[in-house]
Amino acid sequence: MKNSITVTDNRNGKIYEFGILDGTRGPSVVDISTFYSKTGLFTYDLGYTTTASCTSDITFIDGDKGELRYRGIEISELALEHNYLDTCYLLLNSKLPDTTESKDFDLELRHRSFLHEGLINLFKAFPSDAHPMATLSSATSALSSFYYDHLDIHNEAEYQEMARRIIAKIPTIAAFAYRYSIGAPFIQPDIDRSFTENFLYMLRAYPGGKMHRNINGEDRIREIEIKALDTIFTLHADHEQNASTTTVRTVASTGAHPYVAISAGISALWGRAHGGANESVIAQLEMIGSVENVDKFIARAKDPDDEFKLMGFGHRVYKNFDPRAKILKELQDKLKDELKLDSRLMQIAQKIEEIALNDEYFISRKLYPNIDFYSGVILTALQIPKSMFTPVFVIGRTVGWITQWIEFKKDKKTKIARPRQLYVGK
C-alpha cells in the first residue's frame, strides 16, 4: 500500500502495515483502528498529545503557524468584521448568514433567552455563596429535564432548535448564577437588546431598568464595551478537540442528553489548567502587586528550582503567538485609550508582556502570551467580576460544544469512547 506506514515488531520480526489518512489541512494521520487486532498491542499516548480522536470540519488550528479558522474562515476576519451571532450561525450552518438570516437568528435567540420558572426556582436550592460555575453547570444539567426530547437524527430543524435554545439560555443562567451568588434580584432578559448587550444588562441592571454606573460614571452600556465582550465570545467560540470539547464528545458517545453533555463540558472548563486560567492570571497580577515587583517574579519564573509559574504564557497547541491573543492585545490597547484605562493591573500586565516578548528565556521556549493573559485584563476593564471570567468563556464556547455534539451524532462511524490502559498494579 503506497499511502501507508510500516511498523516492525523487533521482538519477533513481524511487519504490520497501516493506512495513512489525509485531511484538507494539517498533518496526515495513521489509521491505527486495527492496531490491537493485528499486533496484540495498545498504543500509549499520555494526554492524547498525538492522537486524532475524530474527523471534523468545524475548526482548524495550526499551532506552529499560529493559525485558527472556523469553517475555513480566519479568526481575525470573524472577530474584526462580524459579530458573535454571525459566528454562531457559521458554526451551526457552515456558512455566514445573509442580512435576513442574521436578523431572524438574532430575534429568535432574544426570545429564547428566558428561563422556565421552574428552573429559576432551582437557584434557591444552592448555597448563597456558591461559585457561579458550580451553579451554571448544575442548572444546565437540570435544563435537560425541562427539554427532555429525543432528537430525530434525520431532522435538521430539531437539531437547530436544540442548539439555538441552549445558546440563548446560557447567558441568562450565567447572569442569574452570579446575581444569586451576591444576593441580588434577578434581572430578566430585555428583548430590545442584542445578545452581548443583554448579558451585560442582566449583570449590571437594577430592578426597574436602571443601570449600574460604568467606570466613567455613566449609567449606560457603551458600544466599545459591547464590541469588546462580543469579540471575546467570538474568540472562545470553538477550539478544536480541547479538554472540555473532548468531554462533550465523550458524554455524547454514551447517548446522554445534549444539555447533560454541555454541563459536563462546563465542569471540565472550570479547571485552572483550562477555562479557569484567566481567573488565575488576574489573581497572580494581584499577588505581584506593583510594577516594581515584576522583575522579581520574572526571575522566579526562570528559576528551575522555583515552583512559581507565570500564568497566561505558553499554550498546549500554539508554538507561535496565539492568534486570539494578538486580537485581544489590540483590543486591550483600544480599551485603554477609549475608556481611558490605566489601572494598576494593566500596568503590571504590560510590564510582564514587554519583558517576556523580548527575553531570550521566553522566546527560546516559545512562551508567548496566550488568550488568558489578555482576556482577564480586558474583562477586569469591563468591570466583570473575577468569578464570572470562566462563565464568560462558557457563553462563548457553548456554540462550539453544541456544534461538535451535532457533528458527533451525525457521524455514522462513531463509537462510545473507551480508551485502554497500561496496567501497572498487582
Give residue 254's pLDDT. Answer: 95
Q: Which residues contact 375 (CB under 8 A, 6 or more apart)?
A: 232, 235, 278, 328, 389
pTM value is 0.92
Contact criterion met (CB below 8 Å) for 385 and 179: no
C-alpha cell at 116: 422556565
Count of C-beta atoms within a 10 Å radius of residue 164: 19
- Residue 309's identity, in one-letter code, is K
pLDDT class of 215 with cuts at 50, 70, 90: low
Query: Which structural domains are found in the chain, ordered by start?
Result: 4-52 (2.20.28.60), 75-223+262-268+397-408 (1.10.580.10)
Is residue 64 classed exposed, middle or buried when 0-12, 13-18 and 19+ CB atoms within 10 A define those classes?
A: exposed
Residue 227: is it exposed, middle or buried by C-beta count within 10 angstroms (0-12/13-18/19+)? middle
Report the distance separating Cα 132 and Cα 140, nearest Å.
Answer: 12
Please state, for a pLDDT cut of 90, what percent of the chain lies above it: 67
Q: How many residues does the chain have?
A: 426
Q: How far apart are the C-alpha atoms of 424 and 426, rounded to whole Å?
A: 7
Across the chain, mean pLDDT equals 91
Range picked from 46-50, 146-150, 238-242 for highest mean pLDDT:
238-242
Q: What is the pLDDT of residue 318?
A: 76
The sheet that has 67-70: what strands, in order across it? Answer: 59-62, 67-70, 73-74
**What is the predicted pLDDT for the residue at 340?**
66
Q: Tens digit of pLDDT for each residue in 273-298?
A: 787 777 888 888 889 999 999 999 99
Find out whether 325 and 371 touch, Cβ atoms under 8 Å.
yes
Residues with Cβ within 8 Å of 199's Cβ and at least 6 positions away in sequence, in order, are 171, 174, 175, 229, 395
- β 4-9/14-21 pair status: antiparallel
Q: Which of 194-198, 234-238, 303-307, 388-392 has the lowest mean pLDDT?
A: 303-307
DSSP for residue 322: -
Residues 41-70 have a mean pLDDT of: 93
pLDDT above 70 covers a percentage of the chain that reads 96
Contacts of 7 (CB under 8 A, 6+ apart): 15, 16, 17, 18, 39
Residue 396 · residue 187 · CB < 8 Å: no
What's the pLDDT at 279? 81
The span from the CA of 387 to the CA of 221, in Å, is 20
Collect contacts of 273-277 with beta carbons under 8 A, ≥24 apart.
273/243, 274/242, 274/243, 274/244, 275/244, 275/390, 275/393, 275/394, 275/397, 276/389, 276/390, 277/311, 277/312, 277/370, 277/372
Res 91: pLDDT: 98
Residue 358's pLDDT is: 87
SS3 133: helix
Which active-site residues does the annotation give? 315, 372
Per residue in 75-113, pLDDT (tens digit) is 999 999 999 999 999 999 999 999 999 999 999 999 999
Q: Where are the beta strands (DSSP E) in 64-217?
A: 67-70, 73-74
Average pLDDT over residues 314-343: 80
CA of residue 377 relative to chain centroid, distance? 17
DSSP codes joined into one string, 29-60 = EE--TTHHHHHS-----GGGTT------SSEE
